[in-house]
Structure 1
Amino acid sequence: MARFVLRRVVLLFAVLFAVTFLGFAAMNLLGDPLVNVVGVLAELDCEGIEAGTVEDTTVDAASRDCDTVAAAKAQYHLDRPVPIRYVLWLSDMATGDFGTSFQNDQPVSEVIREKLPETLILLTMAQIVSLGVAVPWGVIAAYRANRAFDRGSTVASFGLLSVPNFALGVVLLYLLALRWQIFPSAYESGSFGGLVFSLVLPAVTLGLPLAASYQRLLRTDLITTLQEDFVHMARAKGLPPMRIMFRHALRPSMFSVVTVFGVSTGALIGGSLVVEQIFGIPGIGREIVTAVVRDDFPVVLAIVMLVAVTFVVLNFLVDLLYSWLDPRVRAR
């Protein structure tokens, strides 16, 4: 087991290194970050102005502040080569220093701290919705395999998988919030209860397509498990069908669902970018869209790093859970 965990930890750090390097390189390929910090001052030829060889007439004399440019370069390490900047950025990230936003000079850690709770609650609620719907749905579909309920479930699940998040969100918002007024149409942050209640529709929007995916996997695995000898033995002992299903067949049928659970985190985070825009949720998804539009590189890089760490750590935990469900994984 120790060797299994060690291999996964090494892989975890390798993936994180690759993600951070590619993310940092991509941000620097998009343009000169100095332009987003000092604006038109980035066009100044400070070396020429200081040497007296350049007479700049395109920029207002009041804006010719090469000291400001030099201070900005020093603050954001823009006077260093890109590899050195990457190492400095990575070391700062390791200590929890995500830098300062280009737009408002606010520490990025504060920006994330303000936006993260809403997104975490939303993603947690979405997973609860997906599993809460998928498990009983998959069990009943497997129990009534190839009957009317199972066929209807197949149509419904493929329908949910085919509907994009933004379309499902708009339909739910119109029907349940605007027309029938069951749920609030806007995000509420007055109290924790109000916050959770206002996130029900966004969570359902994210969770239902995922529930359809879980249901298809669970149904298939359950049908296979129900043909195993130990299930036939339980039936021969006269155990009730639902007890056999939930106590004996469900656990060994959860392998595929557990595997997809980790991978689906990325899909949920991607979906939250759209859902938070539709429902006006001030979360991480909405913040990264705003940061990309404004070329706020420190915020974008910090959120990308946060998402990567979350995704990789969750998949690491899923690997451990998978090894607990199936000891043969540890043996390999």
Structure 2
Amino acid sequence: MARHLLHRLWQSALTLVLASIVVFAGIRALPGDPATAMAGEEADPATIQAVRARLGLDQPLPVQYLKFAGRALTGDLGVSTRTGTPVGELIRATLPVTVQLAVYAMAVAVLAGTTAGVLAAVFRGRWPEWAANALSLTALSVPTFWLGILAVLYLSVHLGWFPASGYVSPFDHPVRGLYYLTLPALILGLTHSAVLQRQTRASMTGTLSADFVRTARAKGLGGTAVVFRYGLRNSLIVVVTVVGLQLGGLIGGAVVTERIFTLPGIGKLTLDSVFTRDYPVVQAVVLVITASYIVINLLVDVLYTVIDPRIRVSGRSR
């Protein structure tokens, strides 16, 4: 296990280095000049050149990348060209909001998706399967931004069940904080639950048709025990894989939801930074999200051996 973990850590570190190169090059390829944006469009060339020299943009790209990577290893992600605030402080202030929203939304997705998937697999060919498939298809087809706007109009404005915008930290006020995050988490979670429902249904349908399940039924094992002890347990590999991919996507893809509900998360920070050409912030945010995605996938790989002991750390079955 230790050898497998070290191997995966090495792979993750290499992936992070390659991702940092891609992020650095992609940011430099964007149109616009941060020095011009910082100095002002009407600034004279000498002022713009002085700003470029102060930001280190007049140096060759390999030198800029090495300095950026060296500072990033020490936790220094640069300074915002728009506000002058260290980027690390901005990320520490906004990332917890996005993580709370992503975890809450994933809890909703797992609860709704796995429940609907189990019902669709158990009641194949009957109305619960048709209803679960119809709901998942609808959730996959409806854009998140449109669903969020409708939720604000009807559930917040007309009915007053949820606040239309704002954020309260669950660490300061647990009940009120969860109340403010409930509607955006429901919008994000229901959208991602559709993928979980379809994957859980497909995996459980194959498992419940296997020979060992038919043998268990023939020996008199109850239907509930068969479904949860054999069907759902053997489908957890698929569920954990999808949850890992979806959670990484939630952290990086909550831009629209945070914008609709005015949540001060990392998605809103990224969007504001793109509009103002605050490239150090965009660069650091993308790198942090990439690192989060890599860490989540590493944890998923480790969980495989915990969920299914037949999976060896070498990647082969016993």
Asked if Structure 1 and Structure 2 have the same fold, meaning a TM-score greater than 0.5 normalized by the shorter chain, the answer is: yes
Partner of 1:228: 210
In the alignment, does 2:313 pair up with 1:330?
yes
Correspondence for 1:217 among 199, 202, 224: 199
Separation in structure 2 between the aligned mates of residue 225 and residue 131 of structure 1, nearest angstrom: 19
Partner of 1:7: 7
Partner of 1:196: 178
Residues 183-217 of structure 1 deviation map (CA, whole Å, 9 limit, x = unaligned) = 11121327343222111110011111211110111
Question: Which one is further off, 218-227 or 261-270?
Answer: 261-270
C-alpha displacement of 1:124: 0.5
Separation in structure 2 between the aligned mates of residue 329 and residue 220 of structure 1, nearest angstrom: 24
- The alignment partner of 1:328 has SS state of coil
In the alignment, does 2:114 pair up with 1:131?
no
Question: Which one is further off, 25-34 or 154-163?
Answer: 25-34
Partner of 2:219: 237
In the alignment, does 2:135 pair up with 1:156?
yes
Separation in structure 2 between the aligned mates of residue 237 and residue 173 of structure 1, nearest angstrom: 53
- The alignment partner of 1:199 has SS state of helix
Task: Tell whether the 8 Å contact from 2:99 to 2:251 is kept in structure 1 after alignment.
Answer: no
How well do the aligned residues superpose, as a CA RMSD in angstroms? 2.0
Partner of 1:20: 20
In the alignment, does 2:146 pair up with 1:167?
yes
Residue identity matched to 2:8 = R
Task: Tell whether the 8 Å contact from 2:304 to 2:311 is kept in structure 1 after alignment.
Answer: no
**Structure 1: 5+ residue runs without aligned partners?**
46-65
Mapping 1:70-109, distance limit 5 Å: 70=50, 72-73=51-52, 75-109=54-88
In the alignment, does 2:230 pair up with 1:248?
yes
The 3 A distance-change label for structure 1 pair 239 and 136 is same
Partner of 1:39: 40
Separation in structure 2 between the aligned mates of residue 8 and residue 42 of structure 1, nearest angstrom: 50
C-alpha displacement of 1:69: 5.4
- The alignment partner of 2:138 has SS state of helix
Question: Which one is further off, 264-273 or 166-175?
Answer: 264-273
**Higher alpha-carbon Rg:** 1
Identity, in percent, stands at 36
Task: Tell whether the 8 Å contact from 1:188 to 1:194 is kept in structure 2 after alignment.
Answer: no
In the alignment, does 2:160 pair up with 1:181?
yes
Residue identity matched to 2:117 = G
Structure 2 length-normalised TM: 0.91
Task: Tell whether the 8 Å contact from 1:165 to 1:271 is kept in structure 2 after alignment.
Answer: no
The 3 A distance-change label for structure 1 pair 189 and 2 is closer
The 3 A distance-change label for structure 1 pair 270 and 162 is farther
Q: How many residues align?
A: 310
Structure 1 length-normalised TM: 0.87
- The alignment partner of 1:189 has SS state of coil
Partner of 2:98: 119
C-alpha displacement of 1:74: 5.1
Residue identity matched to 2:307 = L
Residue identity matched to 1:219 = R
Task: Tell whether the 8 Å contact from 1:165 to 1:205 is kept in structure 2 after alignment.
Answer: yes
**Structure 2: 5+ residue runs without aligned partners?**
none
Residue identity matched to 1:146 = G
Partner of 1:294: 276
- The alignment partner of 2:64 has SS state of helix
Question: Which one is further off, 99-108 or 257-266?
Answer: 257-266
Separation in structure 1 between the aligned mates of residue 211 and residue 187 of structure 2, nearest angstrom: 40
- The alignment partner of 1:330 has SS state of coil
Residue identity matched to 1:319 = D
